[in-house]
Amino acid sequence: MSLISPACRDALQHWLDSLGALAGRSENTQTAYRGDVTEFLSFMTLHHSERQGLAALARITVSDMRAWMADQRAAGVGARSLARKLSAVKSFYRWLSEREGFEPTAVLSTRAPKFTKKLPRPLAEDAARAMIDTVEMQSTNDWVSARDVAVVTLLYGCGLRISEALSLTGTDAPLPATLRIVGKGDKERIVPVLPAAQTAVERYVQLCPHPQAPDKALFRGVRGGPLNPRAIQGVMAKARMQLGLPATATPHAMRHSFATHLLSAGGDLRSIQELLGHASLSTTQAYTAVDTARLMEVYNRAHPKA
């Protein structure tokens, strides 16, 4: 028997539908929120020894919330993950309270655990170039090598997320001087395309044995279907082992490297925010901390009085 009542299950689905339709949340975000809220509702069922209907959810107390938080920490959930789960629960409760007309203070007033935000982990400029060169040597198949180089070059040269690079279709080739990218939350942005990225994609298209079509993925797997992101993650994992780079040298690190290297070269935060597609400037400001940390490292290593 499900631990969640039909009424709660329906309410959860309606909330997720509203997130997709109104807030433009991605499928991955909706899936994560569904899991987080489902776990919370299941806990409340076990905590009260009965399935929680909508009326019971309206009666959740501060003590109930503390019990859930304590249970999560006892299960080994870290502060960052618990804060994310709590954010999902609060979002659901805010929506549900407006719909059902109850007071959600007990849930909304629950404080998230404090945690130190992780700084982006970019690669050094020479390491980013070496990564692209080493990725090219991971396959004995010329077109696969060209494909992998093209994707990684887009991540580093244009600051794309891997999902954004793999969402390109045949209509995007040959690459124009600028790309219109639809990122998280259906936020659109215009991204300049470097000649190196245009050349890398052109070489891939020429070598790819699978014919391009306007409605099909630009980057293909060996069998001709859309390229799975795990293929790029895997080839970068092999390359970083050969280069002696840390496990943080992932596809997303190439996007971090793009932003950090632009900032180091004098790029302004607002422009970098637009290029990355960040909804908030505060997200982009994390790169200033990275750049400051790098400068302090150089200072401490090189200054005679350091």
Angle between helices 286-302 and 251-264 (to 10 degrees): 70
Active-site pick, 33, 93, 156, 287: 287
Q: Tell me phi and psi for residue 208, to 5 degrees.
A: -65, 125
Residues 105, 93: Cα–Cα separation, whole Å = 9
Active site residue 278: yes
How many Å separate Cα 162 from the centre of its chain? 9
Active-site pick, 51, 189, 256, 278: 278
Active site residue 161: yes
Phi-psi region of 163 (alpha: psi -120 to 50; beta: other; left: phi over 0): alpha
Active site residue 14: no
Active site residue 301: no
Active site residue 255: yes
Active-site pick, 51, 255, 256, 261: 255
Measured between alpha carbons, how far is residue 157 from residues 131, 174, 226, 261 in Å? Answer: 13, 16, 22, 10
Active-site pick, 161, 220, 256, 261: 161
Contacts (Cβ under 8 Å, ≥6 apart) of 194 = 157, 158
Active-site pick, 184, 210, 238, 294: 184
Active site residue 256: no
SS (H, E, C) 29-69: HHHHHHHHHHHHHHHHHHHHCCCECHHHHCCCCHHHHHHHH
Residues 125, 239: Cα–Cα separation, whole Å = 16
List active site positions: 161, 184, 252, 255, 278, 287
